[in-house]
A and B are shown apart, each in its own frame.
Chain A
Amino acid sequence: MSRVHKIFRKFYKIGLVLFLAIFLLFIFDEIQNLDIKRYLSEHYISEGVQETGAINLVTSVLYDYRGFDTLGEATVILTAAATLSFMTPIKKVKMLGTEFTIIIYQTIIIIIPFLVVLGMNLIFFGHISPGGGFVGGVILAMIPILVTINYGITFSENKLKPNHKSLLEGIGAIGFILLGLLGIFAGSNFLASGQANFGLGNPGELISAGLIPYLNLMIGIKVGAGLAAIFNSLIKEG
């Protein structure tokens, strides 16, 4: 009896996982065979370019139709950065005692301007090509990370102080909300750019799509500063 009990204790977790896997298999089979007409997607595909002015439909969904969700996502990153800053001790911690050769130090100096150009390109061309504020912001956040890994935390904090990162993140968040309020002043909804007719322009040009490039810029600043702050806190932890 106890042997059966022992075997049962050993295998019931695996059995549970297998049972749930088979259960999910049937659900997916149903999902795959389900033939739904997706009216909302069809509306976005057929009318999205005229209504928002952005030819990248993912960007037009993220920043125009569902701009409120993007605000919530930005809030999640702000919360993560705040939590990590709260857990970090104030005192200086000496970092990973790695020493690189001069080749790596010089290569980092050469790489950094190209990273700035790439990040800015991804942010400003977010509405006419793949990319957008999130990806560009993360590439901008790579620059403090590279500097920190190569030259140490003291040098990095001298060049870009943590207070300035917090200030940049705040500017991004407040700017996003102010741009959203612009829609209310124009007599439409919060975060409306297509409905409020903010100069949609010709689809496919750089200056077009109303508020979407500026919202992209704000999200880029916010995500870049937030992830740099998160990395800074993580490396000073403990």
Chain B
Amino acid sequence: MELPYVVVIILFYLGIYTIIMNKNLIKIVVGVNIVESSLILLLILISFKLGGTAPILDRKYELVVDPIPQALALTAIVIGGSLIAVMLALVIKIYKRYGTLNVDEIRKLRG
């Protein structure tokens, strides 16, 4: 088991832990961001081959890394940015309505 895969697992579950246990809404968005980053890192790690070059074939090459996971990672990064923008807009909306960012207090106020 190599170290980078262990780092991916630790980052993923650190993000999940933040989403479950933290009370602040902005911290929850930070957790979502960390989960996304760990999954992108996993895609890039899958595409890597030892001794390979980047998938830009402008001269002679011997071994090229896998281009399909890199395209997926590009897609995931862009979609993640717009997703975080929507989540933060919802956070601002919630703050304007309830006056707090604490999840427990929001749940109390609603009931």
What is A's interface to B at a CB cutoff of 8 Å? 13-14, 17-18, 20-21, 24-25, 28-29, 31-32, 38, 40-41, 44-45, 48-49, 55-58, 60-62, 66, 69-70, 73, 76-77, 80-81, 83-84, 87, 128-130, 132, 134, 138, 204, 223, 226-227, 230-231, 233-234, 237-238
CB–CB B56/A57 < 8 A? yes
Interface 1/0 per residue, B14-55 and A, CB below 8 Å: 001100110000000000000000000000001000000011
Contact B71 A28 (CB under 8 A): no
Q: How far is the CA of A129 from the CA of B54 in the complex (A)?
A: 11
Decide if A77 touches B74 in the complex (CB within 8 Å): no
B17 surroundings in chain A (CB, below 8 A): 13-14, 17
CA distance in complex: A49, B61 (Å):
13
The chain B residue with its CB closest to the CB of A45 is B64
Nearest-neighbour CB distance to chain A for B47, whole angstroms, equals 9
Task: Report whether B93 and A227 are in contact in the complex, using a CB–CB cutoff of 8 Å.
Answer: no
Query: A44 to B104, alpha carbons, bound, how many Å?
Result: 51
The one of B16, B56, B82 in contact with A230, judged by C-beta atoms closer than 8 angstroms, is B82
Known: A24-B12, A45-B57, A57-B55. 17 other contacts (CB 8 A): A17-B13, A20-B16, A24-B9, A28-B8, A32-B1, A45-B64, A48-B67, A49-B57, A55-B57, A57-B57, A58-B67, A62-B71, A66-B71, A69-B75, A87-B89, A130-B56, A237-B89
A66 contact set on B, CB distance < 8 A: 71
* Chain B residues with CB below 8 A from A18, complex form: 13
Interface residue B88 (Cβ < 8 Å from any Cβ of A):
yes
Contact of B67 among A44, A76, A134, A238 (CB under 8 A): A44
Q: Is B6 an interface residue (CB 8 A)?
A: yes
A83 near B13: Cβ-Cβ < 8 Å:
no
Q: Of the candidates A55, A69, A76, A132, which one forms a contact with B82 in the assembled complex, judged by CB atoms under 8 Å apart?
A: A76
Write out the residue numbers on chain A whose beta carbons fall within 8 Å of the beta carbon of B93.
87, 237-238
Contact present for B82 and A238 (CB under 8 Å): no
Contact A56 B85 (CB under 8 A): no
With A and B bound together, what is the CA distance between A138 and B78 in angstroms?
A: 9
Residue of A13, A24, A87, A138 touching B20 (CB-CB under 8 A): A13
